[in-house]
Amino acid sequence: MKQALASTVTGLLGACAATALAGTVAVEPAVLETTTSGFEKARRPITNPTLFDNALPQTNVHPIFMYHNLPAQASIIGGGKVPMGGHVEIYALQFEYAFNERLSLVATKDGYVRFRPDTPGLWSAQSGFANIAAGLKYAFIYDPVNSFVMSGTATYEFPLGNHDVFQGEGNGVLNLIVSGLKVWDRFQLAGGGGLRLPFDGQQSTNSFVSAHASYEVVPWFIPLVEVNWHHVLSAGNGRPNYFTQAGGLVPVVATFEGNDLLNFGTANATENRDLVTAAVGFRSRITESIDLGFAYEIPLTDEENGIIDDRFTVDLVWRF
């Protein structure tokens, strides 16, 4: 009897051990299959799109539409004002191709511009293509365990655009940018800053700092806030240019710069070096690889000392 009982107990213990071992073996592949990179919920900023990029190298296409309202008046030298008004429409398509988790090719500026002022005679309704900018992004800190990445980006803006919409001037601009991203489950912070360095003295030299915060309430509603600060480091030479607009006098008499989308080469840009804007909006995750975005942006500095009354931006990000 004792021998039979011992054999039974030994058999039960062996079965339990085999079951436990089988369970261990079964769990390991499941853990491996569900391992994530830590960036599945990472979101791209919306405003200042030609300069403020996602720090995470990631293959995607990014169509953008902007409806930019111009201020009723704009400041010129001597304390004067000139009438402006109207709006600008921008249609653009950005592209990024990731060679690996750290390095990607980026195309950050292109598109078609429609300038529709309210004051014909002084300003002319014109349409044309924007300059083209492209370069490389490299993540020098890539930490998926802690959902943190920091990248450096260098792009060159080719002066290939149309003069009628304030593009295509100078010898090009080098953009040097550092950006960072940190994700805590549903909450995200992102930031970026950099320099815009023209290859001649005709255009202005600028810097920028941008910040983004967002929180995923549900996948289809991810509210966000963003702030952008553009600063003129040195003014352009003020040579008359863009002759279909205000007789070519914008670089001569304006007291501000175009900042994120434009570079007039204004000689008096140091009178109003700073443009600060704030934006509110949201993203909606349509699928795991596609999300939509909307942002409404206003200047926090005097609107007459710049070219923005307000701006609406709509975009789509398709990752693949």
Average pLDDT for the chain? 89
d(CA 20, CA 41): 35
User: Nearest 5 degrees, angle CA 37-CA 39-CA 45?
Assistant: 160
DSSP readout, 181-202? EEEETTEEEEEEEEEEEESSSS
d(CA 52, CA 66): 15
First to last CA, the chain: 68
d(CA 65, CA 51): 16
Q: Quick check: pTM over 0.75?
A: yes
pLDDT tops 50 at residue 198: yes
> Which pLDDT belongs to residue 120?
86
> Which pLDDT belongs to residue 95?
97
167 CB neighbour count, 10 Å cutoff: 22
pLDDT tops 50 at residue 29: no
Q: Where are the domains of the chain?
A: 1-35, 49-319
Return the higher-pLDDT residue of 259 and 219: 219
Residues 72 and 318: beta-carbon distance below 8 Å: no
Cα-based torsion angle of the residue sequence 16, 18, 21, 27 in order, rounded to the nearest 10 degrees = -90
pLDDT in tens, 61-80: 999 999 999 999 999 998 89
d(CA 77, CA 254): 6
d(CA 161, CA 109): 11
Q: What percent of the chain is modeled with pLDDT above 90?
A: 84
CATH fold of 49-319: Porin (2.40.160)
What element of type H or E holds 128? Answer: strand 126-129
pLDDT in tens, 95-150: 999 999 999 999 999 999 999 999 988 999 999 999 999 999 999 999 999 999 99
Residues 66 and 47: beta-carbon distance below 8 Å: no
> Which pLDDT belongs to residue 41?
87
pLDDT in tens, 162-171: 999 999 999 9
pLDDT in tens, 282-319: 999 999 999 999 999 999 999 999 999 999 999 999 99
> Which pLDDT belongs to residue 36?
55
Average pLDDT over residues 36-60: 92
d(CA 187, CA 224): 10
* Helix, strand or coil, per DSSP, at residue 251: helix
Q: Extract the tokens encoding 288.
A: 């795991």
